[in-house]
Each structure stands twice: as C-alpha cells, then as structure tokens.
Amino acid sequence: MRANLLDFDIEGLAAFCAALGEKPFRATQLFRWIHQRGEADFSAMTDLAKSLRDKLAVAAHVAAPVVLSYHASVDGTIKWLFDVGGGDAVEAVFIPETDRGTLCISSQAGCAVGCRFCSTGHQGFSRNLSTGEIVAQLWFAEHFLREHLGRNTRVISNVVMMGMGEPLQNYAALVPALRVMLSDHGYGLSRRRVTVSTSGVVPMVDRLAADCPVALAVSLHAPSDALRNQLVPLNLKYPLADLLGACARYLAHAPRDFITFEYCMLDGVNDSVEHAQQLVGLLATYAGGASWCKLNLIPFNPFPASGLLCSPPQRVQAFAQVLMASGLTTTVRKTRGQDIDAACGQLAGDVMDRTRVQQRMANQRVVHVVRAPFAPAGAVL
Ligand code: SAH
Ligand code: SF4
C-alpha cells in the first residue's frame, strides 16, 4: 500500500525517505512542496531528482479526504465536510477576523466523552482520525483559501483543535499533526497560535506538556464536581482538583503562558451569580490565585436533542462581572457561523455511532431546567 505523506511529521518523512535510500534534506524539500506549496503531484516537484519522483510515484501519495460539502456564512465563516470513509464525515471551520484567520479542526469522527450540551457528543463515537486526516483539514483549507483569495502568503494564522472529538483521546495521531503545524518547513505556526482544547484527560495533559506544549484550553463548564459530573462525564474519572493540578503543572513547561478555561453558559444550569462565585473560589483554591487563567464564556449554541437553552445575555454579563471583579481575565466568545451550523458544539458531521453513546445518553437522567415565573432561572439537575 502507498504511504500517505500527510501522515508524517518531518522526522517521519525523513525516515520514509531514508528507507527509499534518500538523504534527510530531500525530506525537507518534499515537506515544503506538500505543506507550503500545497503540491500533491510529485512530477511537479521540479527540484527533486527524477529518480526520486519516480520512486515516490510508486511508494507514496498525498491524499486528503474528499470534500462532501462547503458552506459559507454571511459573516465569512466557511465550513467544510470531509468524507473520511465508512460512513463517517468530519467538519473543519475557517473563521476570518481582521487580525487573524483561525481554522477549527476535528480530531475524531464523533466523540466518546458525551457532554450533554455538545452535538458531537450526542452523535456518539466512531473512530480516531489519523494524523493525515487531521493534517489534511489544514492542508486543504490553507491552499483552498489561498487560491480563492488570490494570495500566495499564509491565510491561516491560528489553529484550534475545537472541532469534532476529544483531541487528547487521540494522542498518538495528534502530536505528529501538531508538529506539522509548528514546523518551519510546514505551516510555521508558533506554539501559542495552536490550541488544544480538552474536556480534561489528565494524564494526556501531562504528556502534552512534555511532548508538545502548545496553548491549552480546558473545557470547565461547572464550578463543582457535582455539576460537572453531569455535564462532562469524564469528570467522574478526572475530577476538578486533578484537572486543575494538571493545568498548573502544564504551565511549568509553557512559562509565561496562560490556560483558557471555557465555560459554556447554559440557561438555569450553570450560569447564576452563585456559580460564578463558586468558580472564583475554585480557581483561588486550585489555580494559584488564578493569575494564569483566562475565562472564556461561550454562549451555548442550542440544538434540539440537548433540551438545553442559552443563557440570556444579561445573565452572561452578570456572570462575567463577578469573575472580572475578582481579577480574572474574562471574555465572552462571539458566536460565528451560526447560520451554517458551524458554531461551537454545532459540528455534528456524520458519524456511525459504534459505542452506543446515543443510547446511553437517552438512558441518562435528563437535565431538568426549573424556572419560577418571575424569578431568575435556577436549575435542578
Ligand atoms: N473535545 C474538546 C474539543 C472540542 S469541543 C473539548 O471538549 O474541549 C470545543 C469547545 O466547544 C469546547 O469548549 C466545548 O465545550 C464547546 N461546546 C461544545 N458544545 C457546545 C455548544 N453546543 N455550544 C457552545 N459550546 C459548545
Ligand atoms: Fe467531546 Fe468536546 Fe463535545 Fe465533550 S464538548 S462531547 S469532549 S467534543
């Protein structure tokens, strides 16, 4: 079988070239052709010896998943659906801003964590993506955008692993993919412009710190274990004290960085002033006075199966006020691409549910949102 060169970081490609009897600098040339120029056709790689091009044509290819659909939002956000075979499809989203272009990438077909408020989680889990399938989303999007915008310089300046899947549950494929993104011969993104977002796979947070300490975002969503257990089931295995301990250790490898805590605002569930105060207390206890934290409040993007609603803007503001008054850097995420279902948590792709997450979710206790007629919403879980 031919090797897919999108599966290799530069070291892997050097080993592959060595096996073909080629010197390491050939791997660098080849890597640059593929990632910097977007070239998939070996015969067009004119500074490679004809003998090498012929060998590559037999032993290798540059294969990206086929694009099933393409949607552009009125706000400039673009979403692609990639066919990864076997009935699975995953999504990537490009979010243009004045000072940057961010690509949101998927790491798995589905997700086994099964968070209540996430449409990927509701779809269940099919399989991990390969390194090549992760990298291909960036490779395709970058060169598609350059062509469509008529640019020959970089369009994507930031990558966030916030698409479908839990990246730290696909660690072996993730790390080489991150290395391709960071490589000067690849996409040349700085460590701080590549973000891994995790629901809290504690041992892998420690491994990432040692192997490839990119920016870390942690999906918190609740200030107590009792509530987080119900929203993010992984919390039963790795409770908040363990998770925040791992975050503190992470920064020893990434000095002068900060960790972003994501907090999805769910109407009547986790969004009261009391929850905000509890969160301040939690971070004061476990996160060294919280000097290295940033809080990012994400308005919930509703989808029918969740049975949940987005917190009203005033409640999000009141929550943010409590955090800011305690000295926590706090932002409220702008929702982008909602008209094309490309906003956070709306990525559902098309997934064969091989782990019966859907069935387990249906059997779980439903989240009851209890509202008094004229009082602010409160929640009973
Ligand atoms: N599995 C990883 C990364 C993918 S999810 C993680 O959970 O961090 C990326 C972000 O979108 C997470 O912070 C997640 O909690 C958030 N998210 C999921 N569903 C959402 C929804 N319906 N509305 C808003 N944010 C959501
Ligand atoms: Fe998986 Fe993240 Fe969605 Fe949770 S929020 S189900 S971890 S993709």
Closest ligand to residue 333's CA: 1
- Nearest-atom index, ligand 1, CA of 218: 8
Distance 222 CA to ligand 1 centre (A): 13
Pull the structure tokens for residue 138. 């960036």
Chain centroid, CA 99 distance in Å: 20
Q: How far apart are CA 133 and CA 85, in angstroms?
A: 11
Q: Point out the domain boundary residue: 43, 61, 79.
A: 61
Which of 170, 298, 309, 338 to mutate to test ligand 1, by most ligand atoms within 8 A of the CB atom?
298
Closest ligand to residue 300's CA: 1
105-122 in b/e burial notation, b at 16+ Cβ within 10 A?
bbbbbbbbbbbbbbbbbb
- Nearest-atom index, ligand 2, CA of 114: 6
Q: pLDDT band at residue 334, thresholds of 50, 70 and 90?
A: confident
Nearest CA to ligand 1 atom 15: 219
Residues 6+ apart with CB under 8 A from 252: 209
Q: Is 310 a catalytic residue?
A: no
358-377 residue pLDDT tens: 555 554 433 323 223 332 23
* Residue 150 and residue 225 share a domain: yes
256-288 residue pLDDT tens: 789 999 999 999 999 999 999 999 999 998 876
For residue 344 and ligand 1, the question of a CB distance below 6 A is answered with: yes
Identify the bridge partners of residue 91 per DSSP, sorted by sequence position.
Answer: 81
7-16, long-range: CB < 8 A, 24+ apart: 7/130, 7/131, 7/132, 7/135, 7/176, 8/131, 8/176, 8/180, 9/131, 9/176, 9/177, 9/179, 9/180, 9/183, 10/179, 10/180, 10/183, 10/185, 10/186, 11/179, 12/176, 16/60
**Count of domains for the chain:** 2
- Nearest-atom index, ligand 1, CA of 302: 22
For residue 118 and ligand 1, the question of a CB distance below 6 A is answered with: yes
Nearest CA to ligand 1 atom 9: 162
* Residue 335 and residue 260 share a domain: yes
* Residue 326 and residue 264 share a domain: yes
Q: pLDDT band at residue 347, thresholds of 50, 70 and 90?
A: low
Name the phi and psi angles at 235, rounded to 5: -65, -25
Neighbouring CB atoms inside 10 A of 302's CB total 17
Q: Point out the domain boundary residue: 18, 38, 61.
A: 61
* Residue 222 and residue 268 share a domain: yes
Task: Return the pLDDT at 288.
Answer: 66
Pull the structure tokens for residue 44. 């067009």
Closest of 205, 180, 207 to residue 194, by C-alpha: 180
Q: Is 70 exceeded by the pLDDT of residue 331?
A: yes
Q: Domain limits at 76?
A: 66-380
Distance 286 CA to ligand 2 centre (A): 23
Distance 110 CA to ligand 1 centre (A): 12
For residue 219 and ligand 1, the question of a CB distance below 6 A is answered with: yes
Catalytic pick among 17, 22, 91, 115: 91
Q: Is 247 a catalytic residue?
A: no
* Residue 146 and residue 172 share a domain: yes
* Residue 259 and residue 238 share a domain: yes
Pairing type for strands 368-370 and 378-380 reads antiparallel
Q: What's 33's domain CATH number?
A: 1.10.150.530
* Residue 203 and residue 334 share a domain: yes
* Residue 162 and residue 294 share a domain: yes
Pull the structure tokens for residue 279. 């969160």
* Residue 244 and residue 221 share a domain: yes
Chain centroid, CA 60 distance in Å: 29
Q: What's 365's domain CATH number?
A: 3.20.20.70
* Residue 216 and residue 93 share a domain: yes
Helix (H, G, I), strand (E, B) or coil at 31: helix
Q: Is 90 exceeded by the pLDDT of residue 158?
A: yes
Helix (H, G, I), strand (E, B) or coil at 67: strand
62-119 residue pLDDT tens: 999 999 999 999 999 999 999 999 999 999 999 999 999 999 999 999 999 999 999 9
Distance 118 CA to ligand 1 centre (A): 6
Distance 30 CA to ligand 2 centre (A): 35
* Residue 145 and residue 27 share a domain: no
Helix (H, G, I), strand (E, B) or coil at 110: strand
* Residue 302 and residue 282 share a domain: yes
